[in-house]
Structure formats: C-alpha cells, structure tokens
Amino acid sequence: MNKKEKIIDRAIGLSGAKTSMTEPCASCGEKCCNRFAVPITGFDMLRIMRRLDCEPDEFCELDEAKYIQSAPHSTVFIFDKHGQMSERLLILKRLKTNYCIFSRHSNGCAIWGYHPMACKAYPFAFVGKEADGTDKIGYTRNFVCPRLWQKGEYDEGKVRQVLDAMEMEMAEHNRIVREWNATRSKDGDEKGFFKFLIGQSGKKMALWEKKERPDTQKMPSLGPKRGYM
C-alpha cells in the first residue's frame, strides 16, 4: 500500500461506510471534487493532520500556482531557490483521475466534517452587502456547479457561519503567507515550510481554542514525535 492509499484507507476507516452529504450535493456526483485543485490553509491542514494522525505530505502538496485552476481566494507562497523563483499553492493531493484524494465518489467525502473550509463554503461566497448592511450571500454558477440554488435548498445561517469562519481563517492564513514570503522564502525547502506553517497555524489555533472561538472544533493535540515538529 502506498502513502496515498494508506491515508485514504485511514480516512475511510474513520468516516464509516457513507458520509452525511445532503441533497442536492449527494446525488450530483461531486463534480466540484474532481475539477478544481482544493486550496487549503494551515488551519485546514492541522485539522486533517490531527484527525488522521498523519503528516502533511501524505495528503497535501505545494504545486506551482501557474499550473493550477483553483478557487480565487488562494494565496501563493514564494520559494526562491538560489534566485529561481516559484509561486506555489498549498492544495489537497489529487488522484490520476483528477479526483481529490479524499473523494469517495457516490459515497461522498472521506473527511466529511473536517473537510477544508473552501469545500464547506463552495459554491457560496459573500458578494456584497444587503440593504441592512449584512454580508450578502451569492454563489458561483459555472461548468463545475451549474445548479441554480434556490433559497430553502441550503441553510443560509450555516452558510453564513462557514463564510465568516473562512474569512477569519483566510485573513490569518494570509498573514502567515506574507510572513513566509518576507522572511523565509529565500532558500526555504518544503520540510522547513511545513514546519513553519504548522508552528504558526498551531499557535493561532491554540489561542482560538483557549478563547473558545465558538466554531473552533476541539481537536486532540499533535503527538510529540512528528517528523515536521
């Protein structure tokens, strides 16, 4: 069994026979799970690591940004290897079929519940303001998700909660990206990068957990002997 198969096996073992994906997504064939590269933040990465007790390189990778079609909110990490610059995105690994590593096709997502914020929010986004000043929810309709979402087909309160949480995590993730790009990108390697990201995101996550940010899932801490710690 290779690394990818092992991590899928572990995720399926934890998620059970079927996920709790609801309609209309349950019967759509997960089109969005096989078209886009899924951009993740350090917080998404930590949640998956903790739940699956695994290393980041078992399920995510840093891919060259110019080759990736992904959701627009992603931010690029710069690597400057002896003057050779590359811009990379942190994404979930994909299979040769282009499906996300955690996709179980008609059985849904193997990491449902701790899947990345970008997946939780898709296809919804804040698209401006309502007359009363609250953020307006809209959705992207394209070849990936051609659905015309009607009110009542989704839980607006839940979507708003996810979008708020995602905005907060993205703002913090962007700060971490800027710090990497300003201070560590020169001759930084992937191992150093993951160590940096785990350290920075872990510190913020611990603060959120202490202050009991209402939507922060309490997660077991990372074991002491991890390769990247």
Q: Which residues bind ligand SF4 (CB under 6 A)?
A: 24-25, 28, 30-33, 38, 92, 100, 102-103, 109, 111, 115-116, 119, 122-123, 144-145, 147
Residue (48 or 196) nearer to ligand SF4, CB = 48
Q: From residue 75, give the alpha-carbon distance in Å to each of 87, 155, 161, 165, 177.
A: 9, 28, 22, 17, 7
Residue (166 or 180) nearer to ligand SF4, CB = 166
Q: Which residues of 59-75 are buried (b: 16+ CB within 10 A; e: fewer)?
A: bbbbbebeeeebbebbb
Q: How far is the CB of 196 from ligand SF4 (least distance, A)?
A: 23
Q: How far is the CB of 94 from ligand SF4 (least distance, A)?
A: 9
Identity of residue 121:
A
Residue (110 or 177) nearer to ligand SF4, CB = 110
Identity of residue 85:
M
Q: Which residues contact 73 (CB under 8 A, 6 or more apart)?
A: 39, 118, 170
Residue (52 or 92) nearer to ligand SF4, CB = 92
Residue (99 or 208) nearer to ligand SF4, CB = 99
Q: How far is the CB of 72 from ligand SF4 (least distance, A)?
A: 16
Q: How far is the CB of 161 from ligand SF4 (least distance, A)?
A: 17
CA–CA gap between residue 60 and residue 107 (Å, rounded)? 22
Q: How far is the CB of 181 from ligand SF4 (least distance, A)?
A: 26
Q: Which residues contact 66 (CB under 8 A, 6 or more apart)?
A: 87
